[in-house]
Structure 1
Amino acid sequence: MVVTIFVDRNPKDLLASLFAWHDSTRFLPRVEWDHFFDSHLKGHTEYGSYPEFTRAWYEYKDEPWFYWTRYEDLKKDPRSSIKKIAEFLNRDLTAKQLDEVVHVTSFEYMKKNNESIKGRDFILRPKGVWQRKGAVGGWKNLFTVAQNEIFEKNYNERMKRLGIEHMKYKF
């Protein structure tokens, strides 16, 4: 059976990460933050607006082939999160296997080994990075106070309108 593991992420961090990705890749245009922020609110960035994208995937939440998790949970407790994913996949992992999966899926490991990514130089601009920081809360270094207020108002209204208000992130 084909499965989908959906990793949800704080929409503010997701936006900050997507903005950095624009700056790193050759195939996406570089754009100023203020313009990018405004475009995202209008749903004119990759994947449209976060609430609509999330709502589309939420339709599958009860399907047996679909697993929903959050990036913040993976960062906070990778061992427990990976164990739950393994259980969803009906895989029994030994303690040693679980340790190995935790190790090779850590942000630090992937960032250290990003040089091995096939086609890296074709995709990335000079000095571009495949993985940037992998942190939770990085949006705070990018959003202005006004942008934060605008984002939250827009986000809350859309989540309510789409009927998925119960899924809102607590910022």
Structure 2
Amino acid sequence: MENLPSRRVIITHLAPNMLPKSAFKNKAKILVLIRNPKDTLVSFFHFNNKVSVFPTKTWNEFFTDFMSGKVSWGSYFDFVKEWSKYIDDENVTSISYEELKENPNLEIKRIASFLGFSLTEDEIQSIVEKSSFKTMKQSGQEILGTFGDLLFRKGSVGDWKTLLSESQNQEMDSKFEEYLAGTKLGARIKYDTYCKT
């Protein structure tokens, strides 16, 4: 990474305590992308069962593992809760997948401003078009082949309604309330809007 030219972009699934302390000390800009836990769970379930290195699991098995944090990269709830502690740092900001879907132009402007870029409306529109799910899915297939299909499945909001049972819904609601309801990132998720039937 040291040999990469500046500005370097590093993508990770790590919690803040797993990052080098220099990331904060040197005031690296950190953009935390979050997605509502129910859609994250469904997306992760499909990804897990398509990638051959992971053991295939039934929906109920995966739900139990996700809720207890026994999945790759650990607990979703701990991850969001830990990043919430850093969200007031001037070099850290967050964005939600749902907000990007709602208003991509506004969110691209917000990201650009945070990173110190000044973009024209045409540049913003170009980024919105090139980063749409449809375009990324098509590019992913062309560039990454079958792995592109693993990364880009549906790209929708609300797909959780197809798999979660009523009892699983209630369990997720309780867990969210316990872990994230009072946090800034928890508020950013807009749980009542995206995770209630």
1:147 equivalent in structure 2: 168
Q: CA offset at residue 33 of structure 1?
A: 0.6
1:37 equivalent in structure 2: 63
Misfit runs of 4+, over 3 Å: none
Residue 131 (str. 1) matches residue 152 (str. 2): yes
Q: TM-score, normalised by structure 2?
A: 0.76
CA distance in 2, matches of 1:165, 1:100: 31
2:75 equivalent in structure 1: 49
Instruction: Encode CA deviations 1:100-157: one digit per residue, 9 max, x unaligned.
Output: 1001111010011112334x45x58xxx532011100000001111211122122222
Residue 112 (str. 1) matches residue 133 (str. 2): no
Q: TM-score, normalised by structure 1?
A: 0.86
2:180 equivalent in structure 1: 159
Secondary structure of the 1:5 match is strand
Q: List gaps (5 residues or longer) in structure 1.
A: none
Q: List gaps (5 residues or longer) in structure 2.
A: 1-26
CA contact (8 A) 1:13 1:137 kept: yes
CA distance in 2, matches of 1:62, 1:151: 26
- The size of the alignment, in residue pairs, is 164
Identity of aligned residues (%): 32
CA distance in 1, matches of 2:121, 2:180: 40
RMSD: 2.0
Secondary structure of the 1:113 match is helix
CA distance in 1, matches of 2:81, 2:171: 21
Q: CA offset at residue 166 of structure 1?
A: 7.9
1:101 equivalent in structure 2: 127
Q: CA offset at residue 165 of structure 1?
A: 8.1
